[in-house]
Structure 1
Amino acid sequence: MSNKPHSSKVCGSSFAHKSNFLSHMTTHTGEKPHSCEVCGYSFVQKSHLLDHIKTHTGEKPHSCEICGSSFAQKSQLLRHMKTNTGEKLHSCEVCGSSFVQKSHLLDHMKTHTGEKPHSCDICGSSFARKSTLLRHLKTHTGQKPHLCEVCGSSFARKSNLWDHMTTHTGFKPHSCEVCGYSSAQKSHLLTHMKTHTGEKPHSCDVCGSSFATTSNLLSHIRTHTGEKPHYCEVCGSSFGQKSTLLDHSKTHTGEKPHSCDVCASSFAQKSNFLRHMKTHTGEKPHSCEVCGSSFVQKSNLLDHMKTHTGEKPHSCDVCGSSFARKSNLLSHLTTHTGEKD
């Protein structure tokens, strides 16, 4: 006699216990007899209801031994553990992408079909995944229910809070096999990997420039629209990118966290630091197609090009002399002031 005498006539699955068989049959009938008294959500199995109730009580008995994260449901812990092991059993037959969870694969498949069944009632935006729609809705409500107990920062998504917590713990589990770069967030590693592959799938409809990430594309588009949504509360200056605002803010605080190991010069902005470093390496990546002259900074090349076009946009208010470069104008002005460097 079979060890699993209870079989489903619908799909052929068999079970050792009748209770398990009856629970399974509800997956075919759609019956969800176990309801939550708090929110009304209903479940096929009582065990699922008991797990769900922990989301109301806050109980999280299942802990990850690697990073300490805790979960209300054992299934959530098991899914989380795969993020530590890197195990991805579910692969896309179209593009080869692989996923930890089958549900993530099913959601991913909609990127190939273009299906976006979940729509926002407020602005009409539609999404392939319900979870993406729920996150999007918080952009309208401004809701940020997930609070960091260390520094008080709040986040719309719990996953963002988890990612943020690594800034306090220093935990960076995602490593690049090519160069050893490590990151707290997997998304940052995936973005980094494009620096090795050269992949730039996001293109600008205006000028054709392509970018590795959507965020970089959106920042670039502002160079066409002139939009500068990030404002400095000290002086009112506005910027297209938040990172530029953060760098600018250091000019008010006097903070210069980027130091040169060669000459000990320090800089408020990383971009200025990187430009400075080229003065030590002698690197001049920006070349003039007319005469072959090369420059450390692109802005210097653009100024140089005016010597070929004859353009002189910088004029002296004292004598009317005009110059191709602003630096030449500033030098000229000292002839009127008598200032000597």
Structure 2
Amino acid sequence: MQINKTENVYPCTVCNSVFSQKINLKSHMRVHTREKPYSCKVCGSAFSHSSNLKTHIRVHTGEKPYSCEICLVAFSDKSSLKNHMMIHTGEKPFHCEICGSSFSRKSHLKSHSRRHSGEKPFACNVCGSSFSENSTLRKHLLTHTGLKPYSCTVCGLSYFDESSLKRHIRLHTGEKSYICEDCGAAFSVISTLKSHRRTHTGEKPYSCQICDMAFAENSTLTKHIRIHTGEKPYRCQICPSAFSRNSHLKAHIRTHTGEKPYSCEFCNAAFSDNSNLKTHKRIHTHEKPYSCKVCGSAFSQKSNLETHIRTHKKNLEDLLSHAA
């Protein structure tokens, strides 16, 4: 006669996870208690599992026992090797449910998802600015220290991080290695190429959670959200004025300095911002892009159209009053 042997079951009293061995339950409980009994004797870092401490110690020893069989790059832990192998295989198992983008790492998907949600969990403890990436926060913190350790050997300009210096150097070399497959346009930075590609695809992956408007650029979404929040982070150091966009602040500062960098090619009139120049040039071109939907009258400035529309409203009110 066969006897069914019942396996021992060890349930977690906090989250109801079940384990077949008591030692595994004990290890799991540290997730809840945040206990970290394994400490590094070199730097004092503490870990909840001995295996994590063992991996960490390799940071100090430089040991990298896991090697890629394809390119021989070595890693200190097996998970890093596994992530690296996806570069060769092209495997991208983590998919964005909103736009369909795929990623080789879960952490990359998590970072990408913040572009859709607008979540910025990494806050600067100096000025309160928030960022979607911890790496962006670290770069931002350097702006408070004033340190710019990366200098251009051509013109002497300095930058907070190495990637910014590399992008800058391409201005001198003229290198544009990122090519658009649709129109052949070339770019020095891959992020600019990605943004450009959306002009062909019409993709707008960055959505406002308040009004559902969608944008091709995350930076444009950030600016748009300030319409809802009323946030004006750019402050004039001369007067109390504040602005939602840095470009608006720059234009405002010219009212103090008197600078007028935008000149009319027809009459040499100068303006402090480009939008005023565009409006002015319509005097010469006779362009009237603002049309009245009631009578068809056209105007060179939006404010003139708005004033004109009021004449229709007034005429309608007069007709209604006479009819009454």
Say whether residues 1:7 and 2:38 are aligned partners.
Answer: yes
Separation in 2, partners of 1:273, 1:227: 22
Structure 2 residue runs of 5 or longer lacking an equivalent are: 1-21, 29-36, 266-270, 312-324
Separation in 2, partners of 1:34, 1:119: 36
Separation in 2, partners of 1:126, 1:209: 30
SS in 2 for 1:124: coil
User: Normalized against structure 1, the TM-score is what?
Assistant: 0.56
Q: Which residue of 1 is the match for residue 167 of structure 2?
A: 135
Q: Residue 156 and residue 47 in structure 1: after superposition, are their counterparts in 2 closer, same or farther (change >3 A)? A: farther
Q: Residue 243 and residue 79 in structure 1: after superposition, are their counterparts in 2 closer, same or farther (change >3 A)? A: same
Deviation at 1:265, TM superposition (A): 5.5
Separation in 2, partners of 1:64, 1:256: 45
2:119 to 87, 105, 110: 87
Structure 1 residue runs of 5 or longer lacking an equivalent are: 232-238, 284-341
Contact 2:204-2:214 within 8 A present in 1 as well: no
Separation in 2, partners of 1:137, 1:37: 35
User: Normalized against structure 2, the TM-score is what?
Assistant: 0.59
Please give the residue correspondences for 1:135-214 in structure 2 after superposition, counting only pairs within 5 Å: 135-167=167-199, 168-175=201-208, 177=210, 182-194=214-226, 197=230, 199=232, 201=234, 203=236, 212-214=244-246
Contact 1:89-1:99 within 8 A present in 2 as well: yes
Deviation at 1:66, TM superposition (A): 1.5
Contact 1:146-1:157 within 8 A present in 2 as well: yes
Q: Which residue of 1 is the match for residue 99 of structure 2?
A: 67
Q: Residue 228 and residue 171 in structure 1: after superposition, are their counterparts in 2 closer, same or farther (change >3 A)? A: same
Deviation at 1:80, TM superposition (A): 0.9
Say whether residues 1:26 and 2:54 are aligned partners.
Answer: no
Separation in 1, partners of 2:97, 2:169: 34
Q: Residue 97 and residue 209 in structure 1: after superposition, are their counterparts in 2 closer, same or farther (change >3 A)? A: closer
Contact 1:258-1:273 within 8 A present in 2 as well: yes
Contact 1:118-1:126 within 8 A present in 2 as well: yes
Contact 2:64-2:77 within 8 A present in 1 as well: yes
Please give the residue correspondences for 1:259-274 in structure 2 after superposition, counting only pairs within 5 Å: 260-264=292-296, 272-274=300-302
Separation in 2, partners of 1:85, 1:209: 30
Q: Which residue of 1 is the match for residue 305 of structure 2?
A: 277
Letter of the 1:15 counterpart: H
1:124 to 156, 166, 169: 156
Q: Which residue of 1 is the match for residue 321 of structure 2?
A: none
Q: Greater RCO between the two (CA within 8 Å, min separation 6)?
A: 2
Letter of the 1:188 counterpart: T
Q: Residue 77 and residue 33 in structure 1: after superposition, are their counterparts in 2 closer, same or farther (change >3 A)? A: same
Q: Residue 143 and residue 241 in structure 1: after superposition, are their counterparts in 2 closer, same or farther (change >3 A)? A: farther
Q: Residue 255 and residue 139 in structure 1: after superposition, are their counterparts in 2 closer, same or farther (change >3 A)? A: farther
Separation in 1, partners of 2:103, 2:278: 35
Q: Residue 120 and residue 34 in structure 1: after superposition, are their counterparts in 2 closer, same or farther (change >3 A)? A: farther
Deviation at 1:13, TM superposition (A): 0.6
What is the aligned residue count?
270
Q: Which residue of 2 is the match for residue 309 of structure 1?
A: none
SS in 1 for 2:40: coil
Letter of the 2:230 counterpart: T
RMSD (CA atoms)? 5.0
Letter of the 1:95 counterpart: C
Q: Deviations over 1:248-293 (max 9, x none)?
A: 999xxx99976543444678xxxx352442342459xxxxxxxxxx
